[in-house]
Amino acid sequence: MKRFNSIEDIKRFAEESGSHFFSKDAMRFFRSRLVSETYGDDGEVFITSEQFVALDGYSEPRRYTVRMIDVESGSVSDVSEWQEFETLAQAKSFARQMTRQVAR
């Protein structure tokens, strides 16, 4: 089974698998940022943040999503709802709790 030791490992595997999730264009469009910490026994769970900014300058607050990379295909899916968390602390707590429950 694939093991990820960092968010860079996840990015590299996704790109090598043909995923465009981490492409510069996609990251720029969603104003995405990656949290460096990974979660889960194999490090496959991670957190991103996104922020909507309209052309007129209106912006929404930055929000957080917990995601997982598929260790077979390299595709990325949401574990939480998209932008479910208002704070990074909430997203980290959810990621830790969710991965502990799966490990049982």
The parent domain of residue 77 ranges over 7-103
20 located within any domain: yes
Residue 12, class by beta-carbon neighbours within 10 Å (0-12 exposed, 13-18 middle, 19+ buried)? middle
64 located within any domain: yes
pTM of the model: 0.90
79 located within any domain: yes
Q: What share of the chain is helix, strand, coil (3-state, %, to 5)?
A: 30, 25, 45
50 located within any domain: yes
- Residue 14, helix vs strand vs coil: helix
Query: What is d(CA 64, CA 8) in angstroms, rounded to the nearest whole number?
Result: 19
Question: How many folded domains does the chain comprise?
Answer: 1
39 located within any domain: yes
1 located within any domain: no
**Per-position pLDDT tens, the chain of length 104:** 678 999 999 999 999 999 999 999 999 999 999 999 999 989 999 999 999 999 999 999 999 999 999 999 999 999 999 999 999 999 999 999 988 876 54
> Exposed e or buried b for every residue in 36-71, given b needs 16+ CB within 10 A?
eebbbeebbbbbbbbeeeeeeeeeeebbbbbbbbee
